[in-house]
Structure 1
Amino acid sequence: MSTRAVDRGRLGRAGTGAGWVLLAGPLSVAALGPLLNRISGRSTTPGGVPLQPAAPGLPLGTDILGRDLLATTLAGGTTVVALTLAALLLAYAVAVPIGLVVAARGRLVEGLAIGLLDVVLALPSLLVLMVLAATGRRGVVWLVVAVALVQLPYIVRLVRGAAAAPATLATVETMTMVGEPWWRVRLVETGRRVLPPTLVDASTRVTGIVGLLSTANFLGVGLDPSVVDWAVGIEQNTTALFLRPATVLVPVGFLVALCAGLTLLADGRSPR
């Protein structure tokens, strides 16, 4: 094995380790934060002194609404992770079967399907959110559906390309020749072979989904302002950035760690 290959392997392992470390923080807070608030008796109710600096009992001070910043930080990750997972799962649940069917049904079906998806692909992501805002379609369900819709054409193209890879096609031809049923060849076996690139793509796509969910709050189509959420907190405390930087930088730090950790893990799984 060459020195360059060894160095690449070490860098890959180091990146993967760093990815897990970065990812552990936000995921742990999202999973355990609400429980820690209940155990410690911390409340996310507004009404305290706004933008109070760190003090005994308030390690991070308060935000612009007078809420305990540590309490809102501990409670704010649950919705971010839940909505990101919901949008991600919905996008792949719809796109993967479409991609497999498109790859199996010939050039005519492929051309029609990809043509329709290209229309969605041509729409800027912000435009989709602005349409929601203009039509009054607000709420968690609409937001998740819109974010998943934006991801759809990219995932379908990825799955179609992976299903058309030479190794996959060779396996499909062999199974077809021995009489395997269509659904088992085109859906089960091909689906198994497109799984690795799909998983890598999913881990990198989280960054875009988190960005869209955060942007939605600035456009007024995100979560209700009363919801304790990292992205909502960033939007609410933007005007206090220079007075109390922690009110913005703390939730931003968790979102950056979440996205950077997943990106490093995806890079470590990518072929070199």
Structure 2
Amino acid sequence: MRRPSVTVVVGTVLLGVPALIALAGPLLAGPVRSRARPMQPPDAAFPLGTDVLGRDVLALALSGGASIVGLTGAALLMSYSIGVPLALLLAERRAGGILLRALDFLLALPGLLVLMVLAAAGWRGAVALALVIALLQLPAVVRIVRSAALAPGCRAAVEAMTMQGEPWWRIHLGYVGRCVLGPVLVDAGTRLSLVLYLLASANFLGLGLAPSASDWAVLVERNKEALFLQPPAVLVPACLLVSLCTGVNLLLDHALARGNEA
């Protein structure tokens, strides 16, 4: 029996820890309301100390993963669910110039500036935040997938299958879909970090969750002034976010390497 590689083990641990905390943490977390003086160092009552609002950092870390994981997953799922089929359609027709120019305009907009404008206009809530971030990621997703679908090797195979009378779904959903799977997975792994950054920025601006929420991204922004006075208030949620991104990318890289070997 083949032993799992170091990359798989490390990636599984790095991804599994924040994922498990996000799923089971809210069931184990205690109350997250203010219970002590702000920025209290770790002690017997508060193993990780308290944050700038006097809340237990351990309880915040246990309860703050579900929202950030859910919003990130929803934003990525929406952007790829729309972007991949749209890119395959544009690659097939070799057209859609107006749509591509519109996407280029959206791609040129700074994401943080868009979030600031929406915050000033009064757009609030987790649903609106996920939709806006998914829309901001859509142009880049379409361009990456369309470029992969237009690669010379892929197009030559598509033309050959078309001449052989293969049905449309077998060509574009089957063969071309497999061709773009690798770039999509690589892009999703790197885009995860960008989405987390936008979520943290949006929450800090008040566009998404409330500043008092226990979300990991909110905690990093909310407690940044406590970095040197009460480091766990910042480092614990930050390390959980880094672990989540690193674990996902390690496992995706391993899966792609195994696929290339096969």
TM-score by length of 1: 0.85
What SS does the corresponding residue of 1:194 show, helix, strand or coil?
helix
Distance (Å, rounded) in 2 between the aligned partners of 1:33 and 1:76:
8
Q: Which amino acid aligns with 1:51?
A: M
The aligned counterpart of 1:202 is: 188
The aligned counterpart of 2:121 is: 135
Write the mapping of 1:108-187 to structure 2, written as runs, cut at 5 A.
Answer: 108-109=95-96, 111-187=97-173
Q: Are residue 85 (structure 1) and residue 73 (structure 2) matched?
A: yes
Answer yes or no: is the 8 Å Cα contact 1:99–1:159 preserved in 2: yes
Distance (Å, rounded) in 2 between the aligned partners of 1:144 and 1:93:
14
Q: 1:53 aligns with which of 19, 37, 41?
A: 41
Q: Which amino acid aligns with 1:225?
A: P
Deviation for aligned residue 1:82: 0.6
Deviation for aligned residue 1:137: 1.0
Equivalent pairs: percent with the same residue?
A: 52
Alignment size in residue pairs: 254
Distance (Å, rounded) in 2 between the aligned partners of 1:31 and 1:177:
50
Distance (Å, rounded) in 2 between the aligned partners of 1:31 and 1:207:
20
The aligned counterpart of 2:25 is: 33
The aligned counterpart of 2:13 is: 21
- Give the RMSD, CA atoms, in angstroms: 2.1
Q: Which amino acid aligns with 2:51?
A: D
* Deviations 1:240-259, CA, capped at 9 Å, x for gaps: 22221111111111112122
Distance (Å, rounded) in 1 between the aligned partners of 2:236 and 2:168:
52
Distance (Å, rounded) in 2 between the aligned partners of 1:66 and 1:267:
41
Deviation for aligned residue 1:17: 3.9
Answer yes or no: is the 8 Å Cα contact 2:22–2:66 preserved in 1: yes
Distance (Å, rounded) in 2 between the aligned partners of 1:218 and 1:36:
26
Distance (Å, rounded) in 2 between the aligned partners of 1:120 and 1:164:
22
Q: Which amino acid aligns with 2:44?
A: P
The aligned counterpart of 2:60 is: 72
Distance (Å, rounded) in 1 between the aligned partners of 2:133 and 2:93:
28
* Deviations 1:82-127, CA, capped at 9 Å, x for gaps: 1100000000011011100100112x42x32221111011111111
Q: Are residue 189 (structure 1) and residue 163 (structure 2) matched?
A: no
* Deviations 1:185-215, CA, capped at 9 Å, x for gaps: 3334322332222122111210110111011
What SS does the corresponding residue of 1:95 show, helix, strand or coil?
helix
Deviation for aligned residue 1:177: 2.1
Once superposed, which parts of structure 1, at least 4 consecutive aligned residues long, lie more than 6 Å away?
none
Distance (Å, rounded) in 2 between the aligned partners of 1:87 and 1:79:
12
Distance (Å, rounded) in 2 between the aligned partners of 1:60 and 1:159:
44
TM-score by length of 2: 0.88
Deviation for aligned residue 1:15: 4.3
